[in-house]
Chains A and B, each alone.
Chain A
Amino acid sequence: MTTKLKSFLPLLGIAALAIALLVVAPAVLSDLRLNNLAKYCCWAMVAVGIGLAWGRGGMLVMGQGVFFALGAYAMGMHMQLESVGDGGIPTFMILYDPLAPLPAFWEPFRSGAFTIAMIVVAPVVVASILGFAIFKRRVKGAYFAILTQALAVALATLISGTIKYTGGDTGLSGFTSFFGYTLDDPLNRRLIFTITATLLVGCLVVAWQLYRSRFGELLVATRDAEERVRFLGYDPANIKLVAFVVAAVMASIGGAMFVPIVGIMAPKSMDAAASIFFIAGVALGGRAALFGPVLGALAVGYGQSTLSEQWPGTWIYVLGLLFIVVTIALPGGIASLATRGAGLLARLRSSDRKAASA
């Protein structure tokens, strides 16, 4: 019974985070800081997925930028078309041929419903195909990491190299409205923040449920002894695939919300460096803990903003040093501080008791 209650304890944490994000933050933060927080929340969504795939499933996904881009570009294309109005084509396309019809793959993104569907469906399809091939062929470890990173580079280069269709390296920008709401209105930006934060909380709830479910146990089992899982009658490929796909969807949703928040989507936000940046937050926070990835991503985002405001030009030394020190000193990330602290406390207490009884 107590263990059952214990498994609900994280819900309290999630609730606390939800209150902090949805109630406290809008009340105390300026529009600027709230918008920054919204951006970090997008990264945090990606991070929750990485926590699932890497922390729990042992798959170092170094190319989450691919899925981030799927969501972001779906959203970006929709918002771009919404901004140019019925029948218009994006500004960057006019130069090449003002009368050219919209490329066929853009056309359906005029529909908001289609866009929202694609934000979820596209990563599911892509991750399933990729993951099926990768996991069935038992590609893992560093091979898997480098392979996914190569995909992020390939996609970033593809986008840069197809400037006529994607806006290339400069990306998509100049959005004016988000599903009919003008982006300039501060109230609407708060609305977007609320949606983003809610989605993040949703991702956390999904992660929490997956972690406590039998699937979660099986995923950890697969991480620690993949071949052994086979002898339980499961194909580890399928277990990893599910985690990979869920992580991909979270990255895609994060990417989709990123676009209305920052107002520009370019390959730079999803290339190899960006993908490593996603991982950095997760590692910093603690990859296997439920809250580790979220807190890590929020911390890295916040750290980047504040450090660079404090020391423009030299902040990168501080951030770099932080990465080094945390990896060396705290293998379990910041989240492990909590368990370490608890362990220390318990030891202190027991020694107190001993002392008292002596």
Chain B
Amino acid sequence: MTERHLHPDALLVRDLSVSFDGFKAVSGVDVSFAPGELHFLIGPNGAGKTTLVDALTGLVKGTGSASYGGKELLGLRSHKIVRAGVGRTFQTATVFDQLTVLQNLDIAAGLHRPAWRLAFARHGVPAAVDEALEKIGLSDLRHKPAGVLAHGQKQWLEIGMLLVQDARVMFLDETVAGMSADERAETGELLRRIGRERTIVVIEHDMDFVRNHADVVTVMHAGKVLAEGSVAEIQANEAVQEVYLGRTAKGNVHA
């Protein structure tokens, strides 16, 4: 937690709070996400990770501030936030099952097209879509309806959709949960590749995955930021150990 907030393209979150009927799911969070790093959000269930992301993407109301590219994100409607360059995936992969892989990517690419072009059918495959298909490794499945894809493939497709919509900030919610070991490795590679010029924030429980790929880790607990730093720093942090000690029995964290 050093000079990340000074990066000109960083997403700066200051004093962000979210409450449901008086219950503070997120309270007073300060965090900065900068491009070029794989930034992981970890923490026990109910720590407020997803709620934080929900607030940053307009799904729930939050107070405080979250600025990106000179824009205040809080208070904007989700689609406006997406248009500002901040995109996300969901815990349960949400793709359009009835549409093909190609169509999924194509409509995701649509926000950069003028509205009137919507009235026309797709002619050929846009370069960005082709590129994304290549990157997420689904080129061969492009004409398959997204509904038949395997769980991991759906997650990749969601990432691909973020790529074609050219999201500069990507929030990925438990992307590798339920993936096989090979798929995890591939996903990690993918994130590394696309993360060079983007801000990628991953919510994750799988500590092996975190250890293997995280540049920065932010630990949340009970709605607050508990610690932030490199994997090694976090593992050495006493507060984090304390929070997770009670949970080691569940096997979530084993150093």
Q: Which residues of A contact B (CB under 8 A)?
A: 3, 7, 209-210, 212-215, 217-218, 220-221, 224-225, 227-235
Q: Which residues of B contact A221 (CB under 8 A)?
A: 96, 99, 107
Inside 8 A of A224's CB, which chain B residues have their CB? 96-98
Give chain B's interface residue range (CB within 8 Å of chain A).
20 to 34
Cα–Cα, bound, A209→B119 (Å): 8
Contact present for A232 and B119 (CB under 8 Å): no
Chain A nearest CB from B145 CB (Å) reads: 11
CB-defined contacts of A214 to chain B, threshold 8 Å: 106-107, 110, 113, 117-118, 120-122
Chain B residues within 8 Å of A212, by CB: 121
Question: Most chain-A CB neighbours within 10 Å: which of B122, B143, B161?
Answer: B122
CB pair A233 B98 closer than 8 Å:
no
- With A231-B87, A231-B88, A232-B161 in contact, do A213 and B96 touch (Cβ < 8 Å)? no
Question: Which residues of B95-129 are within 8 A (CB) of A?
Answer: 95-99, 103, 106-108, 110-111, 113, 117-122
Cα-based distance from A261 to B243 in the complex (angstroms): 77
| A interface SS class | helix
**A212-B121, A213-B119, A232-B107 as given contacts; A225 in contact with B96, CB under 8 Å:** yes
Query: Would B98 and A220 count as touching, CB distance under 8 A?
Result: yes
18 contacts between A and B (CB under 8 A): A3-B143, A209-B121, A213-B118, A213-B121, A214-B113, A214-B117, A220-B96, A220-B98, A224-B96, A227-B59, A229-B79, A231-B87, A232-B82, A232-B110, A232-B161, A233-B79, A233-B110, A234-B79
- B89 — nearest CB in chain A belongs to which residue? A231
Count CB-based A-B contacts (< 8 Å).
76
Once the chains bind, are A217 and B103 in contact (CB under 8 Å)? yes
Report the bound CA distance from A210 to B120 in whole Å.
8
Whether B82 and A233, one on each chain, are in contact in the complex, defined by CB atoms closer than 8 angstroms, is: yes
Chain B nearest CB from A9 CB (Å) reads 13
Q: A220-B96, A232-B107 are in contact. Are A213 and B120 (CB under 8 A)?
A: yes
Q: Which residues of chain B have C-beta atoms less than 8 A from A209's C-beta?
A: 119, 121
- Min Cβ gap B112→A in Å is 9
- Please indicate which of the listed interface residues B82, B113, B143, B165 has the most CB atoms of chain A within 10 Å of its own CB: B82
With A214-B117, A214-B120, A224-B98 already in contact, 9 other A-B pairs whose C-beta atoms are closer than 8 Å: A213-B120, A215-B119, A221-B96, A230-B78, A230-B79, A232-B79, A232-B110, A233-B110, A233-B111
